[in-house]
Chain A
Amino acid sequence: MTSSGRFRKSFDIVREFAVADFRLRYHDSLLGYLWFLLSPALMFGVYYFVFTSVIYIKIPDFALYLILGIVCYNFFQDCTYSAMYSLAAKAHIIKKIYFPRYLIIVASSATAVFSLLVNLVIVLIAVFVARGVPHLLWLVPIPILCLMFFSTGVGFILAALYARFRDLSQIWGVLVVAIFWLTPVVYDVSSLPESTQITVFLNPLSRIFMLMRHYLLYEFFDMQFLVITVVSAFFTFMIGLIVFLRIQDQLAEQL
């Protein structure tokens, strides 16, 4: 088979799986589809209330800052969880038909990416209305791609481990909360004591969030910061992919 034919087939599998996942998740109803817009909006409401009324956080344009963080973190959570569960959900197919297994993870990520992009369009409109079009808007696809690649890389690792260890879902449930607070979603890194800042910088996800805000809210550009962020996101993706490709032939037996 030619490589373009193989790509075509892979692409079609991913599309079919992604569309099916999306439709099944939201039960094919309009109200169902609204949920993926509504859940970040509701989270935003909760955090906005807490951080403006209960605990005071001093960040300019806090509403935009917060909604951007929540939309991106929501994606990270959604993408990693669905990757983790996707193999078990397709176990019956994996046991009966051979096709490259990594396509399942790619498809589950694609479903999450779709929600992310729709959410981001709404956030962008809010930014335009509140502050006008940012000068660095053309750079925004970079942090978005980093977020997608990083989350998919983590998803690959989780999926590979979940095939073997079924309690990973509980462990990941805790880790997702820990990572939430290790990432500047609701706070700003500069508000942390210097000794703590380093741990946030070591987290690739933090860098992606900061890069996103640099371009969208602060009109700030730093080449070194950009390169480190892109490299760390891509590196995570590659590690995940390599780990997954190594175990993908054993999946039919493990699931």
Chain B
Amino acid sequence: MNVIELQSVSKVFSIPHERKRTLFHWLSSLGKGRYEFEPLYALRDINLEIEQGEFVGVIGRNGCGKSTLLKIISRIYRPTKGTAKVQGSIFPLLELGVGFQPEFSCKENVFLYGSTLGFTRKQLTARLDSIIEFAELERFIDAKLSTLSTGMIVRLAFAIAVQSDASIYLVDEGLAVGDSDFKEKCRQEFIRMKQQKRTMLFVSHDMAEIEQFCDRVFVMENGQIVQRGAAREMIDFYVEGRQSA
């Protein structure tokens, strides 16, 4: 069963030559006819199907459209053309800890961040202990987030994320967190998710991670998927392509 299906999806951003951010600008330009802008094709005619339980990696250079692709699937962006169909609940892990409030305690941030991510208060109350335990922050549960180290904050965010029941995970550079012990724990979580037949779309620049987890890999270039196939071959293709370029 396909849980993600994209049919000829394109995403065009218009980069205005002269950006009009104010009403005053806009009014003063009304008489001059339509203002010019340059279309930027972030995605061109993307077709893809992902089945339930698949771990799919996306690799490509900066600005090739990887993140835009994840944003289309997670509904943050609307496609300019084409359709994106998703079956099941999505958990977007595009950036860890978005919306964390440094002034609030760990516990309060679990509720704030968690509810933005689609948990109910009840679920969070029930899972608070396991979240704090996973993040290894028992001693800091009532400490302000601003007193914690960056690594600790990221750990907290990741601990909330792994508590989700979502069937589809979208991960943008997700594993680059914490020290090596914590990384190992995250790896275990990924393996658990895979056993639970959850689906993951995984953007990374870490080829070792991609090879370890992904069943299939898409190579992107200039907003297009230029090659798709088994992880090892795709990584070789991508690395060679980069060396020859």
Which residues of A pack against B, CB within 8 Å? 1, 5, 8-9, 12-13, 15-17, 20, 23-24, 28, 90, 92-99, 161, 165-168, 171, 249-250, 252-253
A1 touches B23 (CB 8 A): no
B92 touches A98 (CB 8 A): yes
Chain B residues contacting A16 (CB-CB under 8 Å) are: 111-112, 115-116, 121
Chain A residues contacting B119 (CB-CB under 8 Å) are: 9, 12
Chain A, residue nearest B103 (CB)? A24
Complex formed: what's the CA distance from A97 to B113 in Å? 10
Chain A residues contacting B94 (CB-CB under 8 Å) are: 96-97
Chain B residues contacting A165 (CB-CB under 8 Å) are: 21-23, 26
Complex formed: what's the CA distance from A166 to B75 in Å? 25
B115 touches A96 (CB 8 A): no
Q: Does B71 contact A (CB under 8 A)?
A: yes
Chain B residues contacting A24 (CB-CB under 8 Å) are: 101, 103
B116 touches A99 (CB 8 A): yes
Q: Pick the contact of B101 from A8, A20, A94, A168 — CB < 8 Å?
A: A20
Complex formed: what's the CA distance from A16 to B101 in Å? 12
Complex formed: what's the CA distance from A253 to B40 in Å? 13
B71 touches A252 (CB 8 A): yes
Q: Pick the contact of B115 from A12, A92, A250 — CB < 8 Å?
A: A12
Q: Does B98 contact A (CB under 8 A)?
A: yes
B78, B98, B119 — which one has the most chain A CB atoms within 10 A of its CB? B98
B23 touches A171 (CB 8 A): yes
Complex formed: what's the CA distance from A90 to B101 in Å? 12
- 3 closest A-B pairs by CB: A167-B22, A165-B23, A98-B75
Distance in angstroms from A37 CB to nearest chain B CB is: 22
Chain A, residue nearest B117 (CB)? A97
Q: Does B63 contact A (CB under 8 A)?
A: no
A9 touches B115 (CB 8 A): yes
Distance in angstroms from A253 CB to nearest chain B CB is: 7
Chain B residues contacting A28 (CB-CB under 8 Å) are: 103
Give the dominant DSSP class at B's interface: loop
Which residues of B pack against A, CB within 8 Å? 13, 21-24, 26, 71, 74-78, 89-90, 92, 94-95, 98-99, 101, 103-104, 111-112, 115-122
A96 touches B76 (CB 8 A): yes
B99 touches A93 (CB 8 A): yes
A90 touches B99 (CB 8 A): yes
A96 touches B78 (CB 8 A): no
Q: A20-B112, A97-B92, A166-B22 are in contact. Are A92 and B75 (CB under 8 A)?
A: no
A9 touches B120 (CB 8 A): yes
Chain A residues contacting B111 (CB-CB under 8 Å) are: 16
A253 touches B23 (CB 8 A): no
Complex formed: what's the CA distance from A97 to B95 in Å? 9
A12, A249, A253 — which one has the most chain B CB atoms within 10 A of its CB? A12
Chain B residues contacting A250 (CB-CB under 8 Å) are: 78
Chain A residues contacting B89 (CB-CB under 8 Å) are: 1
B92 touches A253 (CB 8 A): no
Chain A residues contacting B22 (CB-CB under 8 Å) are: 165-167
Complex formed: what's the CA distance from A99 to B77 in Å? 12
Chain B residues contacting A20 (CB-CB under 8 Å) are: 101, 104, 112
B23 touches A252 (CB 8 A): no
Knowing that A96-B76, A253-B77 are A-B contacts, what are 14 other residue pairs whose CB atoms are under 8 Å apart, sorted by A's residue number?
A9-B120, A12-B115, A12-B121, A15-B115, A16-B115, A16-B116, A20-B112, A93-B99, A96-B92, A97-B94, A98-B90, A161-B23, A165-B21, A165-B23
Complex formed: what's the CA distance from A1 to B103 in Å? 33
B74 touches A98 (CB 8 A): yes
Complex formed: what's the CA distance from A90 to B78 in Å? 19
Complex formed: what's the CA distance from A210 to B119 in Å? 43
Chain B residues contacting A98 (CB-CB under 8 Å) are: 74-76, 90, 92
Distance in angstroms from B93 CB to nearest chain A CB is: 9
Provide 5 A-B residue pairs closer than 8 Å at the C-beta atoms, listed in order of the A residue.
Answer: A20-B112, A23-B104, A24-B101, A97-B74, A97-B92
Chain B residues contacting A252 (CB-CB under 8 Å) are: 71, 76-77
Chain B residues contacting A17 (CB-CB under 8 Å) are: 112
Chain B residues contacting A23 (CB-CB under 8 Å) are: 103-104
Chain B, residue nearest A167 (CB)? B22
A9 touches B23 (CB 8 A): no
